[in-house]
Amino acid sequence: MKQLALRLICAAFKTTPTTALEIEASIPPIKLQIESHLRRCAIRFNKLSSTNPIIQRLPDEWRNNQKPTCPPPLPQRPRNSNSKANKAKTTTLLNIARFTSPAHERLNPYLLPPWRRTAEGYKGRLKIIPHTNGIDKETATIQIKNHIASLRHTPTSLLVFTDGSTIKKAGFQRTGAATIGYHEDEEVFTIQMGLGGHAEEYDGEMAALMMAATQAVEYSNNHNEIQHIHFFSDSTAAVSSIFDPKPQSGQHYSHTFHVKIRAFLDTNPDATVTINWCPAHQNIAGNEKADERAREATNLARTSPVGVTWSNAMRRARNAPLKLWLREWDKRPMEGRYAISNRIRPSLKTTLRFRKLDDEREIFGRMVQCRSGHAYTGEFRQQFAPGEPTACPCNNDTLETREHIIIHCQRYERHRDILREAYQELSLPEIFGTPNGIDALCEFLRQSGAFSRTGAVLKMQPQPLPENEPIPPIEDSDDETPNDEG
């Protein structure tokens, strides 16, 4: 069924190898897709409570080394009865759980009750202002700068800038977070945190806001004149979710922020808190310095309470099929008709040619047929359709091959300059296996009609519109129609 779906997507012949269709459609092999789903399923185990039946059937470390309160009704049994399998008893659930660990970030679906206090419950004393799409970045930057300037010398206001940063060093990812507080235009505190190599930039932004809330509330408690705390972060996602500790990545950070800010607001009825989005790299002093400190924090050892974050685990699970696919692609011997074209590494994102030819599916189909070698050519008929003509119409003694059509056939000589603009030498590996060559090939196919059934330019019929559909005639029924008189 998958091969049928791939053929429909690519408009290819049924003899086209599945490997070629997977690369052209950017769809990895089924076994890799299944493993990706298993990995994401395993990560979701960290979102279940300890009383969940699934967690009850996993090892004790998933329940803080406590025995299950509701053990499974039957013992674990091996798949077969030989002695080797008896030594390693397992289940499908345990096989899935090996893709994750209870030491990863655990999310608590029941951390706070549904009736918890939200920002709306503080009646304007807590404002969350993310970046809105209705205002362009330049206008928003001017507004933020003016707002910061108006607060800079106010004794009752504390300004806190936060940032998270992710840097790749020697092939390894490192994440850091930092926060800086200003009171009356003077830097009063700065905190940095290293999140290690298993966290995303979003996690760094959330960790920075958590540290900001902890330090800002502590500083405000020691300086009674401070009534208003203003947080500034360049992450819209973090600004929107930091006060709502839902079971999502960064829940620990948002819960701590929620507790600290709620205590600050409940203690002082005149206190206010504002969480603002702030544009990055716009010469805003506090934001620029927080960004610099966050980059420095990537060199620190991990001090975050979370090891492998939820978002990092999910990203690696999504990327796992591509890594395995590329590993297989690198090791696979290049054989068959598609070998000359198979020079571009597979990708999970649809290719540019796929997107550009979305409304020209016939051209995309002919391009795939041409690159795969399973097309309307004599060499294809010679192998898969014995008895049909194999000679090129331009010369009855010449076998119609891809090389002949692209380089030698006189029928397409006037269109061959399209290919020469990309590669003067008309090298088939370059035309079939490079982005520039494929673009030129598509234009060549569009103007010449090469590799079609007739070898001529096709006259494409416009798609029918609903208003142009013919109305079927109403057939008279042979049944008697009852009248009102019965």
Run of H or E residues at 324: helix 310-331
Average pLDDT for 92-108: 91
According to DSSP, the residues that pair with 175 across neighbouring strands are 166, 196
Spatial distance between the Cα atoms of 56 and 62, rounded to a whole number of angstroms:
8
Residue 203 belongs to domain with CATH number: 3.30.420.10
pLDDT range class, residue 72, cuts 50, 70, 90 = confident
Q: Give burial (CB, 10 Å; 0-12/13-18/19+) of 22.
A: buried
- Asked if residue 181 lies in contact with residue 189, where contact means CB atoms within 8 angstroms, the answer is yes
Average pLDDT for 31-49: 93
DSSP states of 4-73: HHHHHHHT--TTS-HHHHHHHHT---HHHHHHHHHHHHHHGGGGS-TTSHHHHTS-GGGGTTPPPSS--S
Asked if 430 and 410 sit in the same domain, the reply is yes
Does residue 338 lie within any of the structural domains?
yes
Helix (H, G, I), strand (E, B) or coil at 299: coil
Judged against a pLDDT cut of 60, whether residue 479 lies above it is answered with: no
Does residue 480 lie within any of the structural domains?
no
Q: What is the pLDDT of residue 7?
A: 93
Asked if 356 and 367 sit in the same domain, the reply is yes
Task: Identify the residue with better confidence: 207 or 75.
Answer: 207
Average pLDDT for 150-177: 92
Does residue 463 lie within any of the structural domains?
no
Run of H or E residues at 396: strand 395-399
* pTM (2 d.p.): 0.80
DSSP states of 132-179: PTTS-HHHHHHHHHHHHHHHTT-TTEEEEEEEEEEEEETTEEEEEEEE
Q: What is the pLDDT of residue 359?
A: 75
Asked if 52 and 159 sit in the same domain, the reply is no
- The residue whose two tokens read 């020079």 is 343
Q: What is the DSSP letter of 192?
A: E
379-403 confidence digits (pLDDT tens): 999 999 988 989 998 887 899 999 9
215-269 confidence digits (pLDDT tens): 999 999 999 999 999 999 999 999 999 999 999 999 999 999 999 999 999 999 9
pLDDT range class, residue 485, cuts 50, 70, 90 = very low
Asked if 369 and 429 sit in the same domain, the reply is yes
Spatial distance between the Cα atoms of 118 and 126, rounded to a whole number of angstroms:
9
Within the chain, what is the greatest distance between any pair of CA atoms?
98
Q: What is the pLDDT of residue 355?
A: 87
pLDDT range class, residue 50, cuts 50, 70, 90 = confident
Q: What is the pLDDT of residue 356?
A: 83
18-28 confidence digits (pLDDT tens): 999 999 999 99
Q: What is the pLDDT of residue 486?
A: 39
Instruction: Decide which of 316, 344, 372 is a domain's last residue.
Output: 344
**Structure token digits, residue 72:** 């499974």
Asked if 158 and 238 sit in the same domain, the reply is yes
Total number of domains in the chain: 3
Write out the residue range of the structural domain in which residue 143 sits. 119-306
Q: How far is CA 453 from CA 247, 375, 411, in A?
A: 57, 9, 14
Judged against a pLDDT cut of 70, whether residue 481 lies above it is answered with: no
Asked if 332 and 292 sit in the same domain, the reply is no
Q: How are beta strands 395-399 and 391-392 bridged, if at all? A: antiparallel
286-339 confidence digits (pLDDT tens): 999 999 999 999 999 999 989 899 999 999 999 999 999 999 999 888 888 999
Judged against a pLDDT cut of 70, whether residue 80 lies above it is answered with: no
Does residue 229 lie within any of the structural domains?
yes
Q: What is the pLDDT of residue 77?
A: 60
Spatial distance between the Cα atoms of 405 and 342, rounded to a whole number of angstroms:
20
Percentage with pLDDT > 70 across the chain: 90
Closest listed residue to residue 299, CA positions, set 195, 190, 164, 161: 195
Spatial distance between the Cα atoms of 53 and 69, rounded to a whole number of angstroms:
10
**Structure token digits, residue 172:** 């390894």
Asked if 327 and 184 sit in the same domain, the reply is no
Long-range contacts, 54-60 (Cβ 8 Å, 24+): 54/93, 57/91, 57/93, 58/93, 58/94, 58/97, 58/102
Judged against a pLDDT cut of 50, whether residue 480 lies above it is answered with: no
Spatial distance between the Cα atoms of 452 and 447, rounded to a whole number of angstroms:
12
pLDDT range class, residue 466, cuts 50, 70, 90 = low
Q: What is the pLDDT of residue 471?
A: 66
Average pLDDT for 131-137: 73
Task: Identify the residue with better confidence: 178 or 130.
Answer: 178
284-296 confidence digits (pLDDT tens): 889 999 999 999 9
- Asked if residue 229 lies in contact with residue 216, where contact means CB atoms within 8 angstroms, the answer is yes
Average pLDDT for 442-454: 91
184-206 confidence digits (pLDDT tens): 989 999 999 999 999 999 999 99
Does residue 51 lie within any of the structural domains?
yes
Does residue 280 lie within any of the structural domains?
yes
Asked if 151 and 297 sit in the same domain, the reply is yes
Q: What is the pLDDT of residue 358?
A: 75
Does residue 189 lie within any of the structural domains?
yes
- Asked if residue 442 lies in contact with residue 367, where contact means CB atoms within 8 angstroms, the answer is yes
Asked if 58 and 38 sit in the same domain, the reply is yes
Asked if 338 and 269 sit in the same domain, the reply is no
Q: What is the pLDDT of residue 464?
A: 63
Closest listed residue to residue 16, CA positions, set 342, 254, 286: 342
Average pLDDT for 8-31: 93
For helices 18-25 and 361-372, angle between their N-to-C axes, nearest 10 degrees? 140
Helix (H, G, I), strand (E, B) or coil at 410: helix
Asked if 363 and 338 sit in the same domain, the reply is no
Does residue 468 lie within any of the structural domains?
no
Asked if 422 and 325 sit in the same domain, the reply is no
Closest listed residue to residue 189, CA positions, set 154, 143, 229: 229
Q: What is the pLDDT of residue 1?
A: 77
State the average pLDDT for the chain. Answer: 88
> Percentage helix, strand, coil, to 5, in the chain?
45, 10, 40
414-440 confidence digits (pLDDT tens): 999 999 998 888 899 999 999 999 999
